[in-house]
Structure 1
Amino acid sequence: MSEAYRLIGTPRFGGILVVSDHASNRVPDDIDLGIAPELLDQHIAVDIGVSAIGELMARRPGFAAFQGNVSRLVCDFNRDEHLPTVVPIASDGHAISGNALDHAGHEARLARFFRPYHAALEALLANTPQALILSLHSFTPQLASSDEPRPWHVGVLYNNDDRAAGIAIPMLAAEGLNVGDQLPYSGKLLNATMNRHAEADGRPYLGIEVRQDLITTAQGQAEWAERLARIANQVAVAIT
C-alpha cells in the first residue's frame, strides 16, 4: 500500500484485476479541501461500495484488487493528466475551495498521487499480465444538479474496445437487471484509466458502474461481488 493506492491480494498471471480509481474517501491530514466533512461520505468524494466489493472479490482465486487510496476530490485518477478536473474545484454543485491551487500546488498533487498511482498500475499490468481488467465504479441514483433519475441497476462502459462489454451486457440482463449500455454516461467520454492502461495496449477490460443504493450494505456488496466475479470469469474465458 502507498499513499496513492493499495493492492489487495496477489495478482496472478492470467488472472483478473479489479481496478477502482475512486475507492477511498481519505483526505491526508495536510490537505484541507475546504468542504463540509459530511460531503466526504457522498458520491462526489468516493464511489460508494466499490472498496468492499473489490476486497471481497480479491479473496477469490485468481482475483486481486488495485484501488485508489485518496478521495477523488484530492486527486481524480480517472482523468487525463493535463485536464484541470484531475484536481476538481467543483463537483455536483459543491465548490471545493481548497483545490483552488496555483501551478506549483497542482503539480504537487500530480507528483504525489496521480503519477505514482498510474506508474504502479502500469508496472503491475506489465509484470503480471491479466486475462481481464475489471474497472469498477459506482454511480449515484440521482445527481443533485439534475432532475433526471438514473434507473439502471448497472452500467457497462467502453470506448473503442467493446469485446468484453458485448459479452457482459446480455449476461447481466439475464440476471433480471436493468443494464445501461454506455449509461449513465458514455465510456467514449469518460474512460481515462482504461484508455491508458487497457485500450492503449490491447488489454481486455470490462467497465462496470453499479448503482450505489444497491451496494451500501454488506449484503448488497456480497451479492454484487459474487455476481461480478462470476461474470468476469465467464468474460475472461470467452474473450481469450
Structure 2
Amino acid sequence: MRDEWTAFEVIRPDGAGPVVLVCEHASARIPSELRDLGLSEASRHSHAAWDIGARDVALAMSAALDAPLVAGTISRLVYDCNRPETAPDAIPALSERHTVPGNEGLDAGARRDRCVRVHDPFHAALDALLDGRTDRPALVTVHSFTPVFHGRRREVQLGFLSHSDDRFARVALAEAGTRHRASLNAPYGPGDGVTYTLARHGEARGLPTLMIEIRNDLIDRPETAAQMGSHLATVLCRALAALDEAAA
C-alpha cells in the first residue's frame, strides 16, 4: 500500500522517447491527517485542487511518445510542486474563490514540513530520471486551466509557455495549426511564477523546455483527454523535428 504522503508516481520510467513529461497537478488527493484541509467536497474536487484532465492527457502523450512521466499524487493545495518553497502560493490559503482553512496561519516549521514531504521527493524523482538519461530530452510539463477565471471567459484553448528560452514554445505553437485557439504564454506566462519546473530541471540542464496549458472543458472526459494527448504528441514530434532542422 502506498504511503499517504507519497508525492509522485513515475510512469513508463524506461521510456526512451525524446521527451520527458511532467504533470505536477495530476491529483486532488489530500492525506487524511490534514482533514481535507477544511474544504467542502465541491472545493476538494474543483480545479483549485488539481488540473482537471491533465493527467489523462499526459498519459496519452506518454504512450504515444514512449516518454517517461513524473506525475504528482498529492493535491496542489497541500503543496504546489510547480512552486519553490519561497513562493507564498506554494501553500495557498486562497485559490481564486476557494478559501483553504487548513493552510491559514501556517508557521515556518509547518510550511517546511509540507515542502519536505511533497516538493522535495517529487523534484528528487525528476532529477533522478533526468540524471539517468544519456541523451538530451525535451522537458514538457502538462497543465490545464479553467474556462472562466474571476468571472471572465477565457477564449484561448491552448497555451504554449516558456521560461526564458521560447524557441520550443514558438515552434510548437506554429506546428499546432488552427485546430484550437492557441497562443504563446497564455493564459499565464513566466511573469506569473508558473515556470519553476521548466527553469529548475530543463533550462538548468540546457534542455528544450515547454509548458502546455489546456482549457479543461476540452479534456474533462477520458476520451477527449486521450484525443488531445494524441494531437499534442504529434505537435511535439513535429516541433522537435523543426528544432533539429533549424540547429543543423
SS in 1 for 2:33: coil
The AA in structure 1 aligned to 2:110 is G
Question: Structure 2 CA distance, aligned partners of 1:147 and 1:31?
Answer: 30
Deviation, structure 1 residue 192? 0.9
Question: Structure 1 CA distance, aligned partners of 2:65 and 2:236?
Answer: 13
Aligned counterpart for 2:13 among listed residues 6, 10, 14: 10
State the TM-score, normalizing by the size of structure 1.
0.92
Q: 1:157 aligns to what?
A: 161
The AA in structure 2 aligned to 1:48 is I
Q: 1:24 aligns to what?
A: 27
Q: 1:44 aligns to what?
A: 48
Residues 64-103 of structure 1 aligned to structure 2 (within 5 Å) = 64-100=68-104, 101-103=106-108
Q: 2:143 aligns to what?
A: 137
The AA in structure 2 aligned to 1:57 is M
Deviation, structure 1 residue 224? 0.5
SS in 2 for 1:159: coil
Residues 132-211 of structure 1 aligned to structure 2 (within 5 Å) = 132-143=138-149, 146-172=150-176, 174-189=177-192, 190-211=194-215
Q: 2:58 aligns to what?
A: 54
Q: Is the 8 A contact 2:160 2:170 kept in 1?
A: no
Deviation, structure 1 residue 186? 1.1
Q: Is the 8 A contact 2:11 2:68 kept in 1?
A: yes
Encode CA deviations 1:94-148: one digit per residue, 9 max, x unaligned: 21110122222111101111111111111111112452111110000012xx232
State the TM-score, normalizing by the size of structure 2.
0.90
Q: 2:233 aligns to what?
A: 229
Deviation, structure 1 residue 215? 0.2
Residue correspondences, number: 237
Question: Structure 2 CA distance, aligned partners of 1:95 and 1:169?
Answer: 35
SS in 2 for 1:237: helix
The AA in structure 2 aligned to 1:216 is D
Q: Is the 8 A contact 2:43 2:98 kept in 1?
A: no
Q: Is the 8 A contact 1:24 1:68 kept in 2?
A: yes
Question: Structure 1 CA distance, aligned partners of 2:162 and 2:14?
Answer: 23
Q: Are residues 61 and 229 of structure 1, via their aligned partners in 2, closer, same or farther at CA, if it must alter by over 3 Å?
A: closer
Q: 1:109 aligns to what?
A: 114
Deviation, structure 1 residue 81? 1.6
The AA in structure 2 aligned to 1:24 is S
Greater helix fraction, Structure 1 or Structure 2: 2
Structure 1 unaligned segments of length 5 or more: list them. Answer: none
Deviation, structure 1 residue 154? 0.4
Question: Structure 2 CA distance, aligned partners of 1:94 and 1:108?
Answer: 23
The AA in structure 1 aligned to 2:130 is L
The AA in structure 2 aligned to 1:34 is G
Question: Structure 2 CA distance, aligned partners of 1:13 and 1:64?
Answer: 8
Q: Is the 8 A contact 1:11 1:17 kept in 2?
A: no
